[in-house]
Amino acid sequence: MLTVKILGSGCANCRKLEAVAREAAASANLEAEFVKVTDMKQIISYDLLSTPGLVVNEKLVSSGRIPTVAEVQGWLRA
């Protein structure tokens, strides 16, 4: 199973990113566990320059923007 982490303070963009990631996983029929990371020390450990950040299986794939559902699907399948 995939582990998808949403890095951020819980702002509107963080919630939007989580919604996009959940939609991408669901429409690709992929099972994923979603984890919200709001602790700044943990977030910084991913070399994140700006939030929100998206981590798939411990690999930072996006930061500082909201990717498209298609982009997220590509990362989830990789």
- Say how far apart CA 24 and CA 46 lie, in whole Å: 22
Helix pair 12-27, 69-77: axis angle to 10 deg: 60
- Say how far apart CA 1 and CA 70 lie, in whole Å: 19
- Catalytic residue chosen out of the listed positions 4, 14, 21, 32: 14
- Catalytic residue chosen out of the listed positions 3, 10, 11, 33: 11
Q: Is there a catalytic annotation at residue 14? A: yes
Active site residues: 11, 14
